[in-house]
């Protein structure tokens, strides 16, 4: 981890992917992230399948919660709410992923948080945002992609829409947008001294990620078809091709110089002028070219060529790729029950900044005793006439 955000202290009320991903990025940068978990089940990812081998621990939980702490509070009780508000003396950023209105029902709406600490930043991550006719509607990643128009374009031409393997709405539309929003509010607070309520919608985020698609739509003057966009397999220079052994190569020779270099390397100069063609005959020729070699042979062939052509790897192969190893993109943690757990590591690198050891995800309520004892001591040492948060 990097200790660049040591002054940032976050109460994390989220229990699924978007908030977990957002707060993990901030924790990786040094923020003090305290997971506030309910006493009956805590973060859903703790027990959700798939489990780590030989355990009942959710694999997703271990992937999204390094460098954090955990406290158990029952926010449905007066005592739990009061303890939460006391924590705002130290932790002045709150991240929650409930449906709109739930924080108010708990008695912890933004106005209440502001009374406890006027500088509080509340980041609310939801599917559809804090207003609009869908504000209370349930949903998941696939639903947000569907409404944004992204799902309709995912898949092969002539086939059905295909759910993506990566949760684009959760991670991109929710998690990354929340990181940007929190950092922006944090910078603004340093200038103004004021907190604010940040509204992050996963649907909004996905729509914003489709800028290139909507640019194509505007220029095409009509509907876009699945598998036929210039960046989704429509052009022969930017597509995925099967190899002799039934595996695949990705060709992204978008600039003319790369396409020309590819055609020259495979001794097919006649295809140079066909770069952006939709001619089925030209596509069949490129398909035939790729089926002439196995994937391993293609990797060797393109090794020193500058043509934007890479193998389509399985996830298990990625960790062994030399570039991935060089960038140290995976971390291994010791599991309390024995063995180790390997997870994707930090995607951000800061040259000249010192790196510190990462800590494994916290156990359920691991820091509860320590934190509540400190709150009780602070309460006892406060002067009798001092106003108490939330009272």
Residues recorded for the chain: 391
Please report the pLDDT score of residue 388 as a whole number.
43
Q: Answer yes or no: do 29 and 157 share one domain.
A: yes
Q: Answer yes or no: do 102 and 198 share one domain.
A: yes
Q: Answer yes or no: do 88 and 151 share one domain.
A: yes
Q: Answer yes or no: do 146 and 287 share one domain.
A: no
| Residue 217 belongs to some domain of the structure | no
| Residue 321 belongs to some domain of the structure | no
Half-sphere exposure of 222 (CA within 13 A, CB side): 2
Closest CA to 52 of 358, 333, 321: 333
Q: Answer yes or no: do 96 and 60 share one domain.
A: yes
| Residue 218 belongs to some domain of the structure | no
Q: Over its length of 391 residues, how does the chain's per-residue pLDDT go in tens digits?
A: 999 999 999 999 999 999 999 999 999 999 999 999 999 989 999 999 999 998 999 999 999 999 999 999 999 999 999 999 999 999 999 999 999 999 999 999 999 999 999 999 999 999 999 999 999 999 999 999 999 999 999 998 889 999 999 999 999 999 999 999 999 999 999 999 999 999 999 999 999 999 988 888 887 666 788 888 888 888 999 999 999 999 999 999 999 999 999 999 999 999 999 999 889 999 999 999 999 999 999 999 999 999 999 999 999 999 999 999 999 999 999 998 888 999 999 999 999 999 999 999 999 999 999 999 998 888 777 655 444 443 3
Q: Answer yes or no: do 98 and 156 share one domain.
A: yes
Domain final residue pick, 279, 312, 345: 312
Q: What CATH number is associated with residue 171?
A: 3.40.50.10540
Report how many domains make up the chain: 2
What angle, 0 to 180 degrees and rounded to 10, lies between the N-to-C axes of helices 17-28 and 177-192? 50
Please report the pLDDT score of residue 222 as a whole number.
65
Q: Are 197 and 108 in contact (CB under 8 A)?
A: no
pTM for this structure?
Answer: 0.91
What angle, 0 to 180 degrees and rounded to 10, lies between the N-to-C axes of helices 78-87 and 368-381? 80
| Residue 317 belongs to some domain of the structure | no
- Give the whole-angstrom CA distance, residue 177 versus residue 181: 6
DSSP 210: T
Q: Answer yes or no: do 121 and 34 share one domain.
A: yes
- Give the whole-angstrom CA distance, residue 234 versus residue 243: 19
Q: Answer yes or no: do 148 and 55 share one domain.
A: yes
Please report the pLDDT score of residue 323 as a whole number.
96
Three-state secondary structure call for residue 27: helix
| Residue 318 belongs to some domain of the structure | no
Sign of CA dihedral 360, 362, 363, 364: negative
Q: CB 361: neighbour CB atoms within 10 A?
A: 27
The two beta strands, 309-311 and 330-334, are: unpaired
DSSP 215: H
Q: Answer yes or no: do 304 and 333 share one domain.
A: no
Please report the pLDDT score of residue 68 as a whole number.
97
Q: Answer yes or no: do 301 and 358 share one domain.
A: no
Q: What is the DSSP string of 73-118?
A: --TTSHHHHHHHHHHTTT--EEEE-SPTTHHHHTT--HHHHHHH-T
Please report the pLDDT score of residue 381 as a whole number.
73
| Residue 286 belongs to some domain of the structure | yes
Q: Which residues are catalytic?
A: 140, 170
Q: Answer yes or no: do 139 and 274 share one domain.
A: no
| Residue 231 belongs to some domain of the structure | no
Q: Determine the structural domain holding residue 299 and report its residue range.
A: 238-312
Query: 205's torsion region: left (phi>0), alpha (psi -120 to 50) or beta?
Result: alpha
- The tokens for 125 are 């991550």
Please report the pLDDT score of residue 38 as a whole number.
95
| Residue 164 belongs to some domain of the structure | yes
């Amino acid at each position: 981890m990097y200790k660049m955000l040591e002054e940032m202290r976050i109460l994390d009320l989220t229990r699924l992917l978007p908030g977990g991903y957002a707060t993990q990025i901030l924790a990786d940068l040094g923020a003090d992230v305290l997971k506030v978990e309910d006493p009956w089940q805590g973060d859903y990812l703790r027990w959700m399948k798939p489990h780590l081998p030989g355990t009942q621990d959710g694999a997703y939980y271990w992937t999204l919660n390094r460098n954090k702490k955990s406290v158990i509070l029952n926010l449905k009780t007066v005592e739990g709410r009061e303890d939460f508000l006391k924590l705002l003396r130290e932790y002045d950023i709150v991240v929650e992923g409930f449906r709109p209105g739930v924080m108010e029902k708990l008695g912890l709406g933004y106005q209440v948080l502001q009374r406890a600490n006027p500088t509080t930043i509340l980041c609310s991550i939801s599917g559809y945002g804090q207003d609009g006719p869908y504000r209370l509607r349930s949903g998941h990643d696939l639903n947000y992609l569907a409404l944004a128009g992204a799902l309709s374009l995912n898949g092969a031409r002539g086939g059905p829409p295909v759910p993506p393997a990566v949760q684009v709405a959760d991670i991109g539309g929710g998690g990354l947008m929340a990181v940007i929003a929190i950092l922006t509010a944090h910078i603004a607070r340093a200038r103004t001294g004021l907190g604010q309520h940040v509204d992050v919608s996963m649907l909004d985020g996905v729509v914003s990620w489709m800028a290139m698609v909507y640019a194509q739509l505007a220029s095409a003057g009509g509907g876009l078809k699945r598998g036929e966009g210039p960046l989704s397999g429509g052009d022969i220079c930017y597509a995925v091709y099967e190899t002799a052994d039934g595996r695949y190569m990705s060709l992204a020779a978008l600039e003319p110089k790369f396409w020309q270099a590819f055609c020259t390397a495979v001794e097919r100069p006649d295809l140079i002028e066909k770069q952006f063609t939709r001619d089925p005959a030209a596509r069949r020729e490129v398909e035939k070219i790729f089926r002439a070699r196995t994937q391993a042979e293609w990797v060797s062939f393109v090794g020193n060529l500058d043509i934007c052509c890479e193998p389509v790897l399985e996830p298990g192969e990625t960790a062994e790729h030399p570039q991935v190893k060089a960038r140290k993109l995976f971390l291994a943690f010791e599991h309390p029950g024995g063995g180790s757990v390997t997870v994707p590591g930090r995607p951000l690198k800061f040259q000249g900044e010192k790196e510190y050891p990462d800590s494994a995800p916290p156990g359920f309520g691991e820091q509860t005793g320590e934190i509540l004892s400190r709150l009780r001591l602070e309460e006892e040492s406060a002067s009798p006439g001092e106003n108490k948060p939330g009272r």
